Homo-oligomer: A and B are copies of this chain.
Amino acid sequence: MDQSDRSVPQDGGAPLLRVLPLGGLGEIGKNMLAFESGENLLIVDVGLMFPTVDMHGIDIVIPDAHYIFERLDQVRGIILTHGHEDHIGGLPYLMEQGLQGPVYATALTRGLVEGKLREHKLLAETDLHTITEDSVLELGPFVVEFFHTCHSFPDSVGVVVNTPAGRVVHTSDYRFDPTPVDDKPTETAKLRRWGDDGVLLLMADSTNVEREGSTPSESTVETMLEKAFANAKGRVLLATFASNIGRVQQIINVARKYGRRVGVVGRSMVSNVKIAIQLGYLDIAQEDLLTAAEMEGLPAHEVVVVATGSQGEPTSAMVRMSLGDHRQISLREGDTVILSAMPIPGNEEMFNRTVDNLFRQGVDVLYHELGDVHVSGHGGREDYEHMLELTRPRFFVPVHGEYRHLVLHSRLAESKGVKKENIFILEDGLPLEFGHFSNHKSKSGEVEARLGTPITAGNVFVDGLGIGDIGNVVLRDRKHLSQNGFIVCILALDEYDGEILYGPEIISRGFVYMRENEDLIKRAQEVVRKTIKKRAPQQVMEEKIKDALANFTYKEIGRRPMVLPLVMEV
């Protein structure tokens, strides 16, 4: 997709609206989006991502909000579309860095955000507002409306931003589901009405654009649950995402039908269920949940356990159970375990190992390869087509997807009638601008679009307490160390005559097993001694030692450890 002919022209008027995708680790605009009009900023979502395998030692990845931090007084509002980590998890970190502004979220999303802010000691100073799908907010020049969407989180909303350039519909994560668990389908009537009135721009979730058809209803999972409960001889234990409150409700419903009661384990599951009950999102009383003693002690056919760990996360409740070291629950023969999720790409090894370990505990295991234990919270191609049909946008920007998804979604939009030249694939930090740019006014006086000048945006790494201090240099070192380990070679020379006073001492880790390679180390020391026979300035000697040891280790054992020489004169 050659966009070079659509870059910023030097002439024309100022933009009426700029759309800024700010972060999402390759999934454009997933974690954070901003709309800018004049000196006004509206932010949608402040999420986080979990690192990919090549981001050694990184705990989480948050958006680079540099552009926002330089314009904090212009922030008119922060809207959170739903309570998943990739949409709210970055908020406390960015607020610690100074982000401020009124935050708007539906009740359950707000409930989860409050928990996070409390942990970070930011709750008191945050200006939180509860919205519903029928709220209308006037935030500077933006009039913001909402539509309820079906997603694997209750009370998810899409956002409609009425701007000086026109109406923007941003779906966030969504699917259509004619028979949702909570009887609240995605609000198609609203979408159609906006479509009738005219939509300037549709920004739409692209996650499942590779999947034909529409995503099956969440209710299909109920069929699987019914079957599993009917066949279960002992306890039923399920792992699912702690935020998938709809799934938890389904489990509670089926449990009731089969005369079983439900208990929950795992920190985030316990906490989310508690909040969901308090806010009326779960139809069960807190006191009706089984205690740990009851989950272990009641007759097996009366017990259901809902746990964290559907991805095989190392410290989760289900993984601990699979290894036989959960504090409260011991798996036993006759138990049925259901992993009600799909492994996220990159998690397959952890997931499969958990399934193996569960089988080793002698329990029966149901997982995605063996049945419909999960449906996606994102629509398929037919859902996406339906969204385009409802909104009929003039412009289209695929978001929430990696590059291939955006290309495929663009093609889909084109096939549904959006003009090819009105479709833009953005990158984080690459703005799309709307306004009247042409010297000669366009015939209809219609708003035009163009790519803006890239701004600083993208990803910031969090490692321990450090936010943004780890960059490519440290990551490259960590990768090098992970592959080959290191050698530090220390040598003290007499500052007067250059005689060796100490060393060469060799400290090494991750390179060879030192205890069984004393001979190799001795020969390495010999190499160093030979290298420094002729006295030279410290830095020259260190360079020579580095080269000599690198050559030696590669020739001897085919490895390239990091070599760090230190020659001191005392």
Q: Is the CB of B513 within 8 A of A471?
A: yes
Say whether A479 faces chain B, with CB atoms less than 8 Å apart. yes
Look across to chain B and name the residue whose beta carbon is closest to the beta carbon of A211.
B369
Say whether A559 faces chain B, with CB atoms less than 8 Å apart. yes
Look across to chain B and name the residue whose beta carbon is closest to the beta carbon of A556.
B465
- In A441-495, which residues have CB < 8 Å from any B CB? 463-466, 469-471, 473-474, 477-486, 488, 490, 492
Look across to chain B and name the residue whose beta carbon is closest to the beta carbon of A210.
B369
Given the interface pairs A466-B559, A516-B469, the reply to whether A507 lies near B570 with Cβ below 8 Å is no
Say whether A53 faces chain B, with CB atoms less than 8 Å apart. yes
- In A367-419, which residues have CB < 8 Å from any B CB? 369-370, 402-404, 407-408
Say whether A267 faces chain B, with CB atoms less than 8 Å apart. no
Say whether A564 faces chain B, with CB atoms less than 8 Å apart. yes
Q: Is the CB of B352 within 8 A of A513?
A: no
Per the bound structure, the CA–CA distance linking A505 and B362 in Å amounts to 55
Say whether A557 faces chain B, with CB atoms less than 8 Å apart. yes
CB neighbours (8 Å) of A38 from chain B are none
- Tell which of B52, B53, B559, B568 touches A463, judged by Cβ atoms closer than 8 Å: B559
Q: Is the CB of B465 within 8 A of A557?
A: yes
Given the interface pairs A559-B464, A568-B502, the reply to whether A509 lies near B359 with Cβ below 8 Å is no
Say whether A348 faces chain B, with CB atoms less than 8 Å apart. yes
Given the interface pairs A464-B559, A466-B558, A502-B492, the reply to whether A513 lies near B404 with Cβ below 8 Å is no
- Tell which of B345, B348, B360, B510 touches A478, judged by Cβ atoms closer than 8 Å: B510
Q: Is the CB of B346 within 8 A of A564?
A: no
Q: Is the CB of A403 within 8 A of B485?
A: no
Say whether A80 faces chain B, with CB atoms less than 8 Å apart. no
Say whether A342 faces chain B, with CB atoms less than 8 Å apart. no
Per the bound structure, the CA–CA distance linking A345 and B343 in Å amounts to 11
Per the bound structure, the CA–CA distance linking A211 and B368 in Å amounts to 11
0 or 1 for each of A534-570: is its CB under 8 Å from B? (1 = yes): 0000000000000000000010111100101010101
Per the bound structure, the CA–CA distance linking A463 and B560 in Å amounts to 11
0 or 1 for each of A268-284: is its CB under 8 Å from B? (1 = yes): 00000000000000000
What class of interface size applies to chain A in its complex with B? 35 or more
Per the bound structure, the CA–CA distance linking A471 and B512 in Å amounts to 9
Say whether A1 faces chain B, with CB atoms less than 8 Å apart. yes
Say whether A365 faces chain B, with CB atoms less than 8 Å apart. yes
Q: Is the CB of A345 within 8 A of B346?
A: no
Q: Is the CB of B57 within 8 A of A512?
A: no
Q: Is the CB of B57 within 8 A of A482?
A: yes
Per the bound structure, the CA–CA distance linking A570 and B357 in Å amounts to 54
CB neighbours (8 Å) of A211 from chain B are 369
Look across to chain B and name the residue whose beta carbon is closest to the beta carbon of A472.
B513
CB neighbours (8 Å) of A404 from chain B are 352, 355-356, 359, 365
Look across to chain B and name the residue whose beta carbon is closest to the beta carbon of A354.
B404
Say whether A56 faces chain B, with CB atoms less than 8 Å apart. yes
CB distance from A541 to the nearest CB of B (A): 15
CB distance from A371 to the nearest CB of B (A): 10
Q: Is the CB of B492 within 8 A of A510?
A: no
Interface hub of A481, A556, A562 (most chain B Cβ within 10 A): A481
CB distance from A205 to the nearest CB of B (A): 17
Look across to chain B and name the residue whose beta carbon is closest to the beta carbon of A569.
B502
Q: Is the CB of A356 within 8 A of B403?
A: yes
Say whether A137 faces chain B, with CB atoms less than 8 Å apart. no
Q: Is the CB of B57 within 8 A of A477?
A: no
Say whether A197 faces chain B, with CB atoms less than 8 Å apart. no
Given the interface pairs A348-B345, A355-B404, A483-B56, the reply to whether A512 lies near B469 with Cβ below 8 Å is yes
Say whether A517 faces chain B, with CB atoms less than 8 Å apart. yes
CB neighbours (8 Å) of A11 from chain B are none
CB distance from A486 to the nearest CB of B (A): 7
- Residues on A lying within 8 angstroms of B by beta carbon are 1-2, 26, 52-53, 56-57, 210-211, 345-346, 348-349, 352, 355-357, 359-360, 362, 365, 369-370, 402-404, 407-408, 463-466, 469-471, 473-474, 477-486, 488, 490, 492, 501-503, 505, 507, 509-513, 516-517, 554, 556-559, 562, 564, 566, 568, 570
A and B contact pairs by CB, cutoff 8 A, 29 listed: A2-B362, A53-B53, A56-B510, A345-B349, A348-B348, A352-B402, A357-B403, A359-B404, A359-B407, A464-B554, A464-B557, A464-B558, A464-B559, A465-B557, A466-B557, A466-B559, A474-B509, A474-B511, A474-B513, A478-B481, A478-B482, A478-B483, A479-B482, A481-B482, A481-B509, A482-B482, A488-B488, A507-B564, A507-B566
13 A-B pairs besides A56-B482, A465-B557, A466-B559 with CB distance below 8 A are A26-B356, A56-B510, A57-B485, A211-B369, A352-B402, A360-B403, A463-B558, A473-B513, A474-B512, A477-B510, A478-B482, A490-B490, A505-B568
